[in-house]
Amino acid sequence: MSAMDKPENPAVADSAFLKACRREPVPHTPVWFMRQAGRSLPEYLKVREGIPMLESCMRPELVTEITLQPVRRHGVDAAIYFSDIVVPLKAIGLDLDIKPGVGPVVEQPIRSRADLERLRDLTPEDVSYVTEAIRMLTAELGSTPLIGFAGAPFTLASYLVEGGPSKNHEHTKALMYGDPQLWADLLDRLADITAAFLKVQIEAGASAVQLFDSWVGALAPADYRRSVLPASRKVFEAVAPYDVPRIHFGVGTGELLGLMGEAGADVVGVDWRVPLDEAVRRVGPGKALQGNLDPAVLFSTREAVESKAREVLDAASGLEGHIFNLGHGVLPTTDPGALTALTEYVHEQTAR
Ligand code: 1CP
């Protein structure tokens, strides 16, 4: 049996989440939340106490526990592997850290041809703790599918070139416009690393993968097409033979949805700025959609949350495949109870 032909747990294959990804009829609309693991949960804060973020990503037992926490608490339809988009870059030896309250910080930003040499290939041995954690996790998860993930080449490049989080991505754009060949080579290197990292997760047992291109909404469509699409497409093509659903997500991507569809994913994630009935026209046929409640809505009253969730479900009512999610990650101070109630509401409203 080839690695791409692993025996699949039939209960996972029949889950509402994977059915919706494949645009098959579902018993209820599946729900999960981006950044559901490791945010506001008191049980998360407790187990993370005193352990730096990147170190916690390398401890399989801790990763397993944190990944399971939101599944236990909210009854969501999928788990997302607890890690971070910069983990594969750390694993190939880049000098980076995740600073509390800041995010990923890179000691020496990547801005020249010589800097590119520091981006070597990722091998499964570099991230053996990921394989170990996913094996432990899939044994514990039973019929709940596990989503693996990675940062998309553009979003990873933005951290590497800026040296940390950035609002305007000025160094990134300076490189993209000023040295298109170096930029293309950088994104191509990152596409290979990202594809290798997703393959490790699929081989270990992830049932779907999501590519986070969180900051690509900073680009105009022509720039996306020229400078980003080839690398993201390369990632999706590399994992296509595994036949697991591939999800593609970015923030502020209303004008890019058609091009993101062209990049090759099976499911396109949409933020809250574009209603799903409009998003489906932009993305084009043959793809499921994921989204798209504004995460800030969860700070309002229960009635308001339900009425806004109802709007999302109504806009999704004509879709062939819909996975309910937020339009971006859970905000850190969100009341966990609001997420549990929202999960129950969507399940109850969509039970068929
Ligand atoms: O979804 C989950 O619950 C799994 C865990 C997860 C995921 C999917 C973490 C843990 N990070 C991510 C992805 C991630 N990381 C993205 C894409 C998703 C998104 O857009 O939200 C991005 C852009 C990052 C980069 C990052 N890592 C930031 C954002 C910084 C910025 O530019 O504004 C931050 C704050 C981190 C650190 C981080 N990652 C994860 C956790 C729990 C933390 C906080 C750790 C800490 O401070 O101790």
Is there an atom of ligand 1 within 6 Å of 164 CB? Answer: no
Separation CA 129–CA 143 (nearest Å): 23
* Distinct helix (H) and strand (E) counts, the chain: 17, 9
Out of 44, 81, 159, 345, the active site residue is: 159
User: Which residue has the CA at smallest separation from atom 47 of ligand 1?
Assistant: 100
User: Which residue has the CA at smallest separation from atom 1 of ligand 1?
Assistant: 35
- Residue 3: per-residue pLDDT: 45
Residues constituting the chain: 352
- Residue 6: per-residue pLDDT: 62
pTM (2 d.p.): 0.96
Atom of ligand 1 nearest to the CA of 212: 17
Active site residue 226: no
Cα–Cα separations (whole angstroms), residue 118 to 94, 107, 201, 237: 7, 13, 23, 25
- Residue 318: per-residue pLDDT: 93
Residues 6+ apart with CB under 8 A from 119: 89, 92, 94, 110, 186, 189, 190, 193
Beta bridge partner(s), residue 323? 290
- Residue 8: per-residue pLDDT: 77
Closest CA to 31 of 93, 79, 94: 79
- Of 33, 35, 40, which is best to mutate to test ligand 1, by the most ligand atoms within 8 angstroms of its C-beta? 35
Active site residue 273: no
Class of domain 3-350: alpha beta
Closest CA to 253 of 268, 237, 231, 233: 268
- Backbone phi, psi, residue 2, to 5°: -80, 160
Atom of ligand 1 nearest to the CA of 38: 42
Is there an atom of ligand 1 within 6 Å of 338 CB? Answer: no
Active site residue 39: yes
Distance 41 CA to ligand 1 centre (A): 15
Amino acid at 112: S
CB 35 within 8 A of CB 330: yes
Positions of the chain with pLDDT lower than 70, given as ranges? 1-7
